[in-house]
Amino acid sequence: MFQTNMAYTCDICSKKTNAGRQHTHHTGVAGGQWKKRAQTTLRNFAPNLHVVTISINGVMTRVRACAKCIKRSKFDERKRAAIAVK
């Protein structure tokens, strides 16, 4: 029905695009007027991907990663650095 771009995935967590529905909320819907009911349309929900250089197993690698994985890798890197200082 609605195709997704399979290449648009996170290299770390395999997060990919999802098909779904969106609708705008028209005024007067709560009043029970059927004519003013908001229409639903199909759309793609895509992950927030960026091309970044991340250290994976000690090797700097360029990957396409989602924002959540980038944030997590930075947190893990700081945690390792703090442990190494102690």
Q: Which pLDDT score is estimated for 11? A: 92
Query: Over 50: is that where the pLDDT of 1 sits?
Result: no
Beta strands in 1-86 (DSSP E): 18-23, 40-45, 49-56, 59-66
Q: Is residue 36 part of a domain?
A: yes
- Domain count of the fold of the chain: 1
Asked whether residue 11 is domain-assigned, the answer is: no
Residue-level pLDDT at 47: 95
CB 21 within 8 Å of CB 40: yes
Q: Domain containing 30: what range?
A: 18-85
Rounded to a whole number of angstroms, the distance between the first and last alpha carbons of the chain is: 56
Q: What is the pLDDT of residues 14-48, one digit of tens each?
A: 999 999 998 776 665 555 555 566 778 899 999 99
12 vs 33, residue with greater confidence = 12
The whole-number pLDDT of residue 50 equals 95
Give this prediction's pTM: 0.69
Residue at 7 is within a domain:
no
Question: Does 12 fall in a domain?
Answer: no
